[in-house]
Chains A and B, each alone.
Chain A
Amino acid sequence: MSWNAPSSSSGGAGSSTHVSAPTTISKRPKYSKFTQQELPACKPILTPGWVISTFMLVSIVFIPIGVASLFASRHVVEIVYRYETDCIPPASRRDKVKYIQSIEDKICTKNLTVPKHMKQPIYVYYQLDNFYQNHRRYVKSRSDGQLKYVSSENETQDCKPEDVANRISIVPCGLIAWSLFNDTFNFSLNNQQLAVNKRGISWKSDREHKFGKNVYPKNFRSGTLVGGAQLDSSIPLSEQEDLIVWMRTAAFPTFRKLYGKIEVDLEENEQIQVTLRNNYNTYSFNGKKKLVLSTTTWLGGKNDFLGIAYLAVGGLCFFLAMAFTIVYLFKPRQLGDPTYLSWNQNPGGH
């Protein structure tokens, strides 16, 4: 059977004399490196040298970044005041929900001490805990079309139950807008009012592209469900920055939202008096409320995690690189030593 070997030369010679030689029809495919699996390839081999240098490189890059991040984070001065219980008169603390739902003026004041010099701008945040702004039903309960275009006023199908009131569409509709945060903070230093600048607290792209300049609140909070803040129907949505900030829904149930900026420096040990209007009902779901005053750096607010993570990873890599170097020096494995092949170590069996 061996004469049918696919050698084209012998095929021609073999049957040439009497029968007309068959033209050699070769089915061999055209040669290409692609089809023949011979593409030039980089064959990375993770040798000890590579391992050590990788870890070394990582540690060299990571440790400075870690130091810089940690330094930046430590540079931030932050004052956090948790007020959801403080701001309820002791007498009403047994039934907080009833208190918060009453119509009386719920003012409370608090003196905060500045721990360190705070350079302006000082950012004022409110922080809510256990508030699921990322709940699926909550996230979709808005109408982006309506926020931007007057003509899309009636696109309220996602907004139920806050879609229409008195058969007129609500602008802005939906649960997000309806639940707008409505505690207010006033600051005074030595009986002098500290101005809180509420301009420019939202991302520019939101202001300019998501909220229309000629869209005005309409029919807002006129329904039976008591919600959050009321909107001034004479100001277009694109200038209602509290709403814009609120409507960039947070990713986690604990979140901070920017409230405003204080544009004066605060000195160490200065007392600032905060006058709070505690209106927002987080009591029915045990939510916490906090007031945060914070400065920022290039990395944003207080954020030790990044610095520590960088330093830890960099340090670990440095340690590993050192350990591997020592092992490499004392017990190197010769690369490509055929005695390591299993059939050389254990001849005959496997």
Chain B
Amino acid sequence: MPVEFFRCLATCHTVATKGEESPETIRYLATSPDEAALVTAAKNFGFFFFRRTTTSVCVRETNVEKMGMFHDVLYDILNILEYSSSRRRQSVICQYPDGRLVLYCKGADNVIFERLADGNDDIKTKTREHLENFGAAGLRTLCLAYKDLSLHAYKSWNEKLIEAKTSLKDREEILDEVAELIEKDLVLIGCTAIEDKLQAGVPSCIETLSRAGIKIWILTGDKMETSINIAYACRLINNDMKQLIMSSETDDIREIESRGDQVEIATYMRAAVKNQLKKLLEEAENSQQSYHPNLALVIDGKCLTYALDPSLRGMLLNLSLDCSSVICCRVSPLQKAQVTSLIKKDAGRITLSIGDGANDVSMIQAANIGVGIIGLEGRQAVMASDYAISQFRFLTDLLLVHGRWSYLRICKVVTYFFYKNLVFALTQFFYTFQTGFSGQRFYDDSFQTLYNIIFTTLPVIAVGLFEKDVSASLSKKFPELYKEGTRNTFFKLTVWMEVAVVSLFQSLVVYYFVVASSTNSVHSSGKMLGLWDVSTMAFNCLVVIVNLRLLLMCDAITRWHYTSVGLGLLAWLAYILVYSGVYSKGIYSAFCVSASTAYFYVTFLLVVVVALLPDILYKGVQRWFFPLNYQIIQECHGHEPDQSSALLQIRNQLTPDEARSFQVAQLPRETNTGFAFDSPGFESFFGEKAGVYAPQKAWDVARRASMLRPKPKTPRRD
């Protein structure tokens, strides 16, 4: 049996090799690191897969009887039934050199158990026990099985397969069906467990994010025990929390499933899920009334299938919104997407999906924001994502620093655009009433054109690039600031109303203050101003006001702001001097004429100050009596210089524990693959060498024997 176990590992995979064909130098290229790990494990146990041809796999097997002897075995791979997220298993049919035909199958435990032949109950129960232990220790498990095939049975099946492969319609489904025909009556060999380490800084990152008011859900394909364990490791669940568990792994369900009637299973499941949901919802409401600490919902994929049914969706949503953290385990990629869109569409929340594997692609695409982690699991997630980061904990920077800044910047830029165009358009609007509604323009055509293109453009770009209310380090130190974004503090209706009122006021000031006295003579020589003189004066005031208000609403004014505002105003001055200086119809010398009067300057000062004073008043009063959080933090830390290279710092806020695991992760690994069972205690060994203390892990061989109860602190994440 052990031989079959490792043969299965060495043959049933889609790994390619690279480099010299010796155990030390060979490198395995796999679509998932798990697969490579399993092949490596087989190698270390004496079943060295070293070559793949189009039809065969070469394995150098240690002779079981005589130690130290090798012989190369060539297995003909007749078919590969590939892994897919719906099948959740992978099979190969290989032919031994002596002609024996075997199907090796490797897949998720529930999938394999469904397809086992009767009998062999003791190995099944034993394996189940193992699986539970491994899961509780936070390991990722797979089950292995095999089946001997007769040549005749294989041949008749192969014909069907070829037919399926060449079918033009629904090929995928037909292939699955055909695979289903042969992947049955399997014999269980055993199970594997792989440690998938949690990246450094994940727990503190998650803690920071939840302080920022972000609710975190885990959607994972792992077993329930594993997922709960991860959630503990990520501090999503702690011992104070009440866990609401919806599992399909109950005895009743198992019993009904064993009968195999699909319709019966479905009806029973639906009823069960409904009852459970009702019960949990009541429980959640009760505990909310009694101020019970936070709730955590754990639900598995099978239950989710029924809970996502339109009739139960609402209940599920209410329940999950009551909980502070939700863990969905054993979910398929499609369900990940469904859950994401449940939150996005039904609850109307903004969702962000982050993942590193190909199975996360659908949820990354379903969410409002998709983030891919560049990792060992391939690039699919990254390709599908909006943002790609190299480690999970950089999510803090992405959201709390750059996300927050972007939000702030976009809000300011958009409201500013709204403001400046409204002020501009309103003055024109007021003038219409004075022209007998003939449509005469208040400003010269070229002013109107260049207003948005030149005179007021550059500064707002500077705001869009450089605006920040608090520095990067403070943003991360006070994650609560992020809530201003989730509550949309800077972009809600009241903000628009404020902007509209300010614009209305300023346009009234610009228009009526300039107009009010220009019906009279404004020069000691008694001469009068004409249409273009008045409009040039008003426009001059307008450009200055709009540019100065930009500086007023900035929280960080860099030299680019000054430069751009200066450039905008200079451009206006240069333009009007040149434009009214060369012969150009009505506007000719309008600026020089009006600027030759004292009235021009007196009005200018009045208009600019009066237009901007209410802004200052409003801001001053608001900050004084109703300060927002960011304003207080500005006041606390305003005098501190920006921490230089705060953004470049990768080791941000690692707890000592994490710092250690990070260092451990950096240890040299020439001979080790890094997987836990490969060489027990290696971390401690290298750790000592490098002067890093690495604690023994729960799955170290020495302790495995005594491992009866799951140890919760084994960080690992999907």
Contacts and interface: CB of A to CB of B under 8 A. Distances in A.
Interface of A: 1-7, 10, 13-19, 31, 36-48, 50-51, 54-55, 58, 61-62, 65, 69, 121, 123, 125, 132-139, 144, 148, 200-203, 205-206, 209-210, 245, 248-258, 261, 294, 296-303, 305-306, 309-310, 313, 317, 320, 324, 333, 335-338, 340-343, 350
A11 to B, nearest CB: 9
Contacts of B199: 1-2, 5
B429 interface: no
A50 B605 CA distance: 20
A123 B522 CA distance: 12
Contacts of A252: 434, 515, 518-519
B466 A251 contact: no
Contacts of B645: 31, 36, 38
A296 B525 contact: yes
Interface in B616-666: 616-617, 619-621, 623-625, 627, 629, 631-638, 642, 644-648, 650, 661-662, 665-666
B625 A333 contact: yes
Contacts of A333: 624-625, 627
A338 B636 contact: yes
Contacts, number: 287
B531 A250 contact: yes
A45 B665 CA distance: 45
A134 B515 CA distance: 14
The 3 closest A-B pairs by CB, nearest first: A336-B635, A51-B620, A123-B526
16 contacts: A1-B376, A5-B390, A41-B642, A46-B616, A69-B602, A134-B435, A206-B589, A251-B529, A252-B434, A299-B598, A299-B599, A305-B517, A309-B513, A309-B606, A341-B629, A350-B213
Instruction: Pick the most buried of B520, B627, B666, B670: most chain A CB atoms within 10 A of its CB.
Output: B520
B609 A313 contact: yes
Contacts of B586: 139, 144, 249
A13 B609 contact: no
A335 B598 contact: no
B638 A45 contact: yes
B556 interface: yes
B438 A300 contact: no
A50 B483 contact: no
Contacts of A137: 438
A340 B668 contact: no
B524 A300 contact: yes
Contacts of A5: 199-200, 390-391, 650, 662, 665-666
A340 B631 CA distance: 10
Q: What bracket does the count of chain B residues touching chain A fall in?
A: 35 or more
Contacts of A139: 440, 531, 586
B718 to A, nearest CB: 10
B689 interface: no
B356 interface: yes
A256 B390 contact: no
B480 interface: yes
Contacts of A48: 620, 624
B25 interface: yes
Interface in B497-526: 513, 515-526
A301 B609 contact: no
A213 B525 CA distance: 23
Contacts of A342: 480, 629
Contacts of A245: 528
A299 B527 contact: no
Contacts of B521: 123, 125, 256, 258, 294, 296, 300-301
Nearest to B717: A1
Given A4-B376, A15-B670, A299-B599, 13 more contacts: A19-B27, A38-B647, A39-B559, A45-B623, A50-B620, A51-B620, A205-B592, A209-B588, A249-B586, A300-B521, A309-B606, A313-B606, A341-B478
A325 B417 CA distance: 35
B527 A4 contact: no
